[in-house]
């Protein structure tokens, strides 16, 4: 019983809008919805209101992550070379190794920050 109060209308209570399309038309629409991280109905509703859905992944941040990952790989390679007592690293002293470890730690922190910023919050539809 609602005791005189009206139940608010929700989208689920409203009649749906049907869109007929061929399988080859449906596939790119579903792909685009998945790319921006929205369910198909939310994606189409967003487009219907004239908004362009924004992707949840920032491509520039992905490029930054790839660059940082390469930096970590190179730094890790230097550390591995030193740990294997390679003749190329015989001149590396303790201070050089500590600086390398410090650089690796700093690069990991940069990577953590980049990972946190790579996924944008989903816009409410």
Prediction pTM value: 0.44
Measured from the Cβ of residue 57, the count of other Cβ atoms closer than 10 Å reads 13
Q: Is the Cα torsion angle 90, 94, 97, 99 positive or negative in sign? A: negative
From 99, 97, 105, 103, select the one nearest 80 (Cα to Cα). Answer: 97
From 4, 118, 1, select the one nearest 65 (Cα to Cα). Answer: 118
* Helix 59-83 vs helix 94-118: crossing angle, to nearest 10: 160
What are residue 2's phi and psi, to 5 degrees?
-100, -10
Confidence category of residue 2, pLDDT binned at 50, 70, 90: low
From 54, 65, 68, select the one nearest 117 (Cα to Cα). Answer: 65
- pLDDT, mean of residues 81-100: 82
Confidence category of residue 7, pLDDT binned at 50, 70, 90: confident
| pLDDT score for 124 | 47
Percent of the chain whose predicted confidence (pLDDT) is above 70: 87
Mean pLDDT of the chain: 82
């Amino acid at each position: 019983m609602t005791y005189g109060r009206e139940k608010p209308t929700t989208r689920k209570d409203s009649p749906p809008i049907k869109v007929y399309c061929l399988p080859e038309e449906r596939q790119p629409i579903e792909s685009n919805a998945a790319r921006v991280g929205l369910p198909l109905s939310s994606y189409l509703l967003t487009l219907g209101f004239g908004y362009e859905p924004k992707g949840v992944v920032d491509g520039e941040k992905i490029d930054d992550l790839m660059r940082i990952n390469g930096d970590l790989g190179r730094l890790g390679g230097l550390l591995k070379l030193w740990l294997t007592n390679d003749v190329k690293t015989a001149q590396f002293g303790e201070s050089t190794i500590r600086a390398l470890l410090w650089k690796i730690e700093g690069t990991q922190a940069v990577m953590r920050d980049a990972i946190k910023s790579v996924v944008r919050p989903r816009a409410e539809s």
